[in-house]
């Protein structure tokens, strides 16, 4: 019996994977419906994520689908939150997950059972309709996310207590009306910060973004008009990024990021560092800077009654509203600190999933990672691995080995080869997916496919690393995986090619060329695959 905490993206994947492995999941969801972060509500609910109605996914539908459930072909390439929620509802219906979910039920506490040392069981206390109930489960999958408890470090902004205007955390933002005719400061340059600044600039008198470190800016529309992640996250590109010497890999990334526009000219250039931070996805910011709607400034030095002073800027900036887009805290209020230790917003977990010190590995955390790629197939892959660990079909390394790896990750060391990642963006998306897939025997083998199914091998190596690749073989094999891979561009272009001039031909990416074939053979020969 497995307790699943939360019915968002991670919780639904966990519940489904439990059923696939013959386990008995019970999913506890404190709200009255599924969706987690992606279920919009006008009011803010305590303990739940909160999003604004204009949110659109940052990853394309083909790259962010669950691996055995493609999006409908008529869905847009990047999804408004309502369409993504629709997809999740279809997923729940297709795999009959709703009967496994207890809605309106809050997990109050999870504690080790007295017999934990031998059984690995957990006492789980839940509350519904004012009544608490105690349960015993053989394992627990924590899928509660990390977008519920805002981080608001006011102590880092001297003078904020004197500010006569209004300030709030981005979690409280819903509509841009609040900014009408106001002078707005957005602190922080993550995805939410830039989204809110862009929306505010359409009605505000002036909008300023304050960022101390800058950020790379990507558009959803990438090379030749294709979705960014279908071009960026391919096996060929990942192979190049991870095997080039570090300085060369960084130089290549720097060139690619500045190809659309020079970040330095727009005040966006990240601080000099060999550690890659999470890029920002936004299609509007460069043009809004060009047209004067948005101004980029350094970090805040001091807040005054009606203005703000920035570092290295002597003049004061008049401000009416401050929006703090300063992220969220990682917390597990239902768990004892001895189970999962959180330091500097990060939990110490092996492969970002398992606490290293437990005698029995019967508790796992899903979705607590910020990859440069789609989170949905990643949490699904975590769930596939976790359920097989619970069943004893996959073994974890000794505690000392796991702790050594976790500690190495904390050091944020610059790697000799490939890109090095900072404390937030910890890993190459495709490498992480392949690592977990190899644990369960679901990683596709390009050399074997080259002999058996060359066309599929080419598509897998040169094309997007879509999640269906991880259903071609191994546990959880799906008969429709091959067809889903070969038709992924059809589903991508279907909602956009709504007007086709007479005599036009398909404009799919011409990746499978003779040159590509020779490159693939060379890669096989030299053992890179």
pLDDT, residue 428, reads 81
Confirm if 348 and 210 have CB atoms less than 8 A apart.
Answer: no
pLDDT at 61: 98
Q: What is the mean pLDDT of each run of 10 residues along the chain (529 residues)?
A: 97 98 97 93 86 95 98 97 97 98 97 95 96 97 90 94 96 97 96 97 98 92 94 92 81 87 93 74 96 97 96 94 93 89 78 94 93 94 98 95 86 55 66 96 95 95 97 95 97 93 65 49 49
Give the pLDDT confidence of 362-400 residue by residue, as tens digits: 999 999 888 889 999 999 999 999 999 999 999 999 999
The pLDDT value recorded for residue 250 is 79
So what's the pLDDT on residue 39? 93
CB 185 within 8 A of CB 304: no
203, 179 Cβ separation under 8 angstroms: yes
Per DSSP, 245 falls in state B
Residue with the two structure tokens 């739940």: 48
What is the distance, to the nearest Å, from the Cα of residue 345 to the centroid of all Cα atoms in its chain?
16
Looking up tokens 């003049």 gives 315
Report the pLDDT value the prediction gives residue 479, as an integer from 0 to 100: 96
CB 282 within 8 Å of CB 219: yes
- pLDDT tens, 84-127? 999 999 999 999 999 999 999 999 999 999 999 999 999 999 99
CATH for the stretch 152-219+260-326: 3.50.50.60
The residues spanned by each domain of the chain are 152-219+260-326
pLDDT for 507 equals: 55
What pLDDT score does 272 carry?
67
Q: Kindly report the backbone phi and psi dihedral angles of residue 33, in degrees, each rounded to the nearest multiple of 5, phi listed first.
A: -160, 170
pLDDT score, position 520: 53
Q: What are phi and psi of 294, to 5 degrees?
A: -130, 140
CB atoms within 10 A of CB 397: 12
CB 79 within 8 A of CB 56: yes
Taking the model in full, what pTM does it have? Answer: 0.92
Q: How far apart are CA 384 and CA 376, in angstroms?
A: 12
Long-range pairs for 467-470 at CB < 8 Å and ≥24 separation? Answer: 467/63, 467/64, 467/65, 467/66, 467/67, 467/374, 467/376, 467/377, 467/380, 468/65, 468/67, 468/68, 468/70, 469/67, 469/444, 470/67, 470/377, 470/381, 470/433, 470/437, 470/442, 470/443, 470/444
Please give the pLDDT value at position 528: 46
- How far apart are the C-alpha atoms of 134 and 124, rounded to whole Å? 6
């Amino acid at each position: 019996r497995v307790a699943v905490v939360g019915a968002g993206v991670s919780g639904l994947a966990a519940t489904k994977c439990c059923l696939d492995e013959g386990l008995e999941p019970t999913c506890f969801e404190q709200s009255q419906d599924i969706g987690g972060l992606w279920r919009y509500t006008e009011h803010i609910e305590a303990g739940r994520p909160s999003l604004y109605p204009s949110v659109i996914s940052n990853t394309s539908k083909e790259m962010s689908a669950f691996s055995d459930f493609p999006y409908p072909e008529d869905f847009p390439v990047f999804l408004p939150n309502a369409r993504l929620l629709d997809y999740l509802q279809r997923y729940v219906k297709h795999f009959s997950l709703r009967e496994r979910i207890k809605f309106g039920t809050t997990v109050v506490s999870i504690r080790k059972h007295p017999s934990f040392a031998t059984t690995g069981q957990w006492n789980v206390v839940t509350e519904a309709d004012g009544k608490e109930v105690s349960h015993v489960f053989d394992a627990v999958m924590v899928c509660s996310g990390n977008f519920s408890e805002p981080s608001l470090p006011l102590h880092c902004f001297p003078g904020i207590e004197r500010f006569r205007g209004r300030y709030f955390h981005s979690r409280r933002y819903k509509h841009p009306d609040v900014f009408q005719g106001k002078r707005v400061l957005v602190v922080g340059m993550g995805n939410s910060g830039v989204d809110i600044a862009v929306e505010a600039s359409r009605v505000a008198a002036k909008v300023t973004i304050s960022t101390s470190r800058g950020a790379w800016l990507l558009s959803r529309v990438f090379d030749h008009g294709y979705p960014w992640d279908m071009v960026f996250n391919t096996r060929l590109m990942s192979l190049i990024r991870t095997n080039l010497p570090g300085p060369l890999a960084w130089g290549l990334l720097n060139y690619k990021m500045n190809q659309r526009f020079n970040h330095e000219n727009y005040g966006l250039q990240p601080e000099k560092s060999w550690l890659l931070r999470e890029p920002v996805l936004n299609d509007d910011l460069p043009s809004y800077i060009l047209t004067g709607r948005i101004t980029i400034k350094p970090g805040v030095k001091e807040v005054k009654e009606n203005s703000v002073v920035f570092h290295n800027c002597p003049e004061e900036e008049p401000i009416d509203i401050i929006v703090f887009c300063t992220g969220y805290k990682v917390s597990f209020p239902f768990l004892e600190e001895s189970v999962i230790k959180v330091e500097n917003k990060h939990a110490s977990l092996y492969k970002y999933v398992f606490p290293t010190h437990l005698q029995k590995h019967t508790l796992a955390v899903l979705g607590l990672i910020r990859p440069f790629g789609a989170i949905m197939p990643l949490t699904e892959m975590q769930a596939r691995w976790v359920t097989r660990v619970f069943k004893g079909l996959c073994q974890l390394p000794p505690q000392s080995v796991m702790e050594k790896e976790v500690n190495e990750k904390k050091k944020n060391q610059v790697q000799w080869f490939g890109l090095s990642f900072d404390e937030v963006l910890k890993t190459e998306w495709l490498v992480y997916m392949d690592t977990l897939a190899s644990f369960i025997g679901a990683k596709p083998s390009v050399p074997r496919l080259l002999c058996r199914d060359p066309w599929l091998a080419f598509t897998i190596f040169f094309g997007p690393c879509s999640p269906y690749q991880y259903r071609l073989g191994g546990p959880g094999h799906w008969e429709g995986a091959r067809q889903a891979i070969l038709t992924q561009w059809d589903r991508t272009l279907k909602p956009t090619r709504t007007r086709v001039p007479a005599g036009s031909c398909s404009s799919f990416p011409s990746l499978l060329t003779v040159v590509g074939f020779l490159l693939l053979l060379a890669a096989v020969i030299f053992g890179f695959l």
